[in-house]
Amino acid sequence: MLLNGVRRPAVARAQLAIKNEMERAMTVSLRESVDKVSDPRNLDASVEEVFHLMLGVDCQLDEGPAETEPESVTAVVGFGGLLSGACVFRTGGSAAMKIAAHMTGMEFAEIDDTVKDGIGEICNMLAGAWKGKVPELAANCGLSVPAVITGRDYNLHVQAPEFQLHHLYRFEDATFSVTIVCDGLQ
């Protein structure tokens, strides 16, 4: 009995020390991995994976200027944890309907709730795939529920990000952009 009384506090102290060391190592390792976190190849690989697996289409990085449509659809998924920021997916209305059509097998004549939900889900999958490329980030960064914005003539602004990745992609005749914004790393 006396041994158990000594053992429990010793085990608890050892567990706390291990936990504190792991938290310190994770924090340091993410800061030290900023080059890997901000590697644009991770964004490209994530887009390729999600669009190939979920839509059955191949995307190419598009170097040209972004095509503009009167109406656009933007989805935002926030990151929280060791990295704070957001994944932003933006496309024109006709491209959004094409993406939703590939996802659902249905045709769309307008940007309805199914199209918006599809774009939100694509953004969510892209955010998850991107953060999964860095093990420390995958285990210590959560995602928010997607927010979807539709309309004309609007801009999203992020004040002084730590880093930002922004690429334009194309599949068939549809273009879209994906932006990863990091406003803080722990």
Please write the tens of the pLDDT for every residue from 26-75: 444 566 677 788 899 999 999 999 999 999 999 999 887 666 778 999 99
Q: Both tokens of residue 161? A: 């990000």
Q: Give the C-alpha separation, 171 to 164, whole Å.
A: 23
For the cut 80, the answer to whether the pLDDT of residue 177 exceeds it is: yes
Q: Report domain extents, the chain.
A: 1-32, 36-185
Report whether 186 contacts 82 (CB < 8 A).
yes
Q: How far is it, in rounded angstroms, from Cα 111 to Cα 130?
A: 27
Structure tokens at 47: 């887009």
Q: Is 82 helix (H, G, I), strand (E, B) or coil?
A: coil
118, 99 Cβ separation under 8 angstroms: yes
Residue that wins the pLDDT comparison between 13 and 103: 103
Which tokens hold the place of 53? 């697996």
Look up the CATH superfamily of 36-185. Answer: CheC-like (3.40.1550.10)
pTM of the model: 0.81
The pLDDT, as a whole number, for residue 14 is 59
Look at residue 24 and tell me whether its pLDDT is greater than 80: no
Distance CA 111, CA 166 (A): 24
Sign of the Cα torsion 59, 65, 70, 73 reads positive
The percent of residues in the chain predicted with pLDDT above 90, rounded, is 58
